[in-house]
Structure 1
Amino acid sequence: MTPEGAVLIRIFKMESELEVWKVDRSGKYALLKTYPICRWSGKLGPKTKTGDRQAPEGFYRVSMGSLNPNSQFFLSFNLGYPNRLEAALGYSGEALMVHGACSSSGCFALTDQNIGEIYAVLQAALKAGQPSVQVQAFPFHMTPENLAAHRDDPNVSFWLILKRGNDIFEVERREPKISMCDRRYVFDRDFGGREPGNPLAACPASTSRPEPSVDAKAMKDLNRSEALLKLPPPKSIAYQDGGMHPQFRALLKKFGEKELAERVSEIKYPISRPDAALADPYRN
C-alpha cells in the first residue's frame, strides 16, 4: 500500500469496530487496520430523526470538506448523514461524525490517537486525488449467524439490502457502486448513463448482469440462514443506549469514568452515559 492509495471505511456497531481498508498493489482493497470504537449511541438500526441518539447505518461519502481539524473532540470527519436517500425519506439529523474522545450522541467515538491515524490516512488519500471516501456503516458483520439471531428485528429487510453491498465488497474487494431509487439502495446497476435522480421513484431499466460470485455468496449465506432459522432463537441483545468495545468496557469497570476519559483523550471529555455503556449489551 502507499500513503496516497485509495481508502474505504467500514463500521460495525454490535462489534464496536471501525475498519480502514486501502487499495494494495493488486488493485483491490485490503484491510489496513481495525480500530475499537470507544462509544456509539442508540440501538441497532438506522437513524431516522433528530434526537433519537441513533448512530447511522448505510452508505456515505467523506470528502475533503468533511474533515474537521478544529473539532471539539480533537479531530473529526462528517459522515454526510442524511445522504440523498435518507433526506428523500424524510430522515432528519445533522453533524453525525466519527471523532475522538469517548462520548456519543449519534456519533462514533474513538481514542484521540486512533482518530488521528484514521484522519491522516483519509487526508492523504483525498489530497492525492481520491474524490471521496466511501463509508459503509452496518449494524453488525453481515453473517448468516448475525442475521438469523436478529430475525425478529423490524429492520431485517433494510439490513438485507445493506448485505448486498457488503457481499460485493467482501467477494470482490472493490467499492460497490451505490445508486438510490425505489426507496432503497441498489448496487452495481448500469442505467445507461441515466443515474436515478429521485430516490423515491422506481428504478429505471438496467442492463446490468448479476455478478455470479456475489450471487453464489448470497445463496450460500441464505441457505445457512435458513438452516439456522430452524433452531431455537437465541436470547436477544438489547441496548439501553449504544455500545462500547470490550476493551474499553473493561477499562471503565476497572478504572472508572474519569480515568477512562483521561486515557482515551487529552481533552478528557466525559464518557457519555457510562452506566448504559456498562449495561449494554444485556440479554433478556
Structure 2
Amino acid sequence: MLDRLDLLVIGECVADIVRLPGAADQVHPGGSPANVAYGLARLGYGTTLLTQLGPDDNGRLIRDHLAAAGVEVRTDGATAPTPSAAVTLDDGGRAAYTFDITWTLAPVTPDRPPRHVHTGSLATVMAPGAATVLAAVESLRAAATVSYDPNVRPELMGDHDAAVRQVERCVAFSDVVKASDEDLEWLYPGRDAREVAERWLASGPALVLVTRGRDGALAVLPGGQVTVDALPADVVDTVGAGDAFMSGTLHALAAHGLLGAAGRERLRSLDRATVTEVLRHAAACAAVTVARAGANPPDEGELKAALARS
C-alpha cells in the first residue's frame, strides 16, 4: 500500500437517494470525488479525501462507508447538512439527478504533499468552495500530478459560459483529464468529442480520456488516439461508473510509475500499448461497477477477474 497521503482527493460527498418505481428509497454513499477515493482505496492505495460532511445520518453513513475501504476522511469542520441527490433510474439503468447541495470548503493544509491529487465535479465549479479547491490544487501541483473529471451536472453548473471557462482552467492545470461524451456535449454542443479532446490536450494535459458508455472509451495523447470497447456487463445501474473508470485509470498509471512529479515527464511520452492497458483497466472497473447497485467499484481481486474475462 502507498503512504496514506500519497493520493489526495478533494471534492464533495453526496448521499445518493435512489428511487425506483414501487420500491422504498435506498440511500447509497456517493459524490464523484468520494467515489474515486473509495475506488482507489478498494484497489489498495492509501487515500485521503478532503471534503465536507454534516453531523447527520447521511454524513455518518458516508464516513463509515469510506472508512470501511480505508479512506482517511478530512473535513474543514463545517456543520451544514450532508449534500444529497435524488437519483431516478430509467429502464436502462441510466441515472438522472435532483440535487440538494451546498459547497463551502475552507482551506485545509495536508500534513505533507501528496504524490497525486484528483479533483472535479461540483467541487470545482460551485462557489464559494470551488475557489478553495482550485487554489489547493494549483499550490500542490509542483510536487504532484493532477487528474480532473468535470462530471458535469447541468442543474448546478450555473452560467454556461462561466462554467466552460472554469472547466477549461481545470483542464489546463491537469496532467490527466477524463470526461464523458455527455459532459462534452453539454460544454460544447454539437462539437465532435475527439476534436474537443484534442483541443484540451493542447492546453496542457498529457492524456485526455473520453468515456462513451456502451461504445467504450477514447484516449487522446500527443502520439495519436487509442480506443477500447466497453466490456460486456449486465447493467444494474450506471451510478458511479465514470468514477470507477477514473480510479481504474489512476490505478493503472500508478502501476506504471506515472504518477507524481517524478513521473510527469514519462506521462508526457506515453506509448499506445501502455495507454491501451490503462483503458482496459479503467473499462474493467466500470464494467464491474455497472453490474451491481450503487457506486460499488471493484477491489483488486475483482478487477483481476474482470480483466481475465475480457
Normalising by the smaller structure, the TM-score range is under 0.3
Bigger Rg, structure 1 or 2: 1
Larger RCO of the pair (alpha carbons < 8 Å, separation 6+): 1
Q: TM-score, normalised by structure 2?
A: 0.25
Indicate the structure with greater helix content: 2
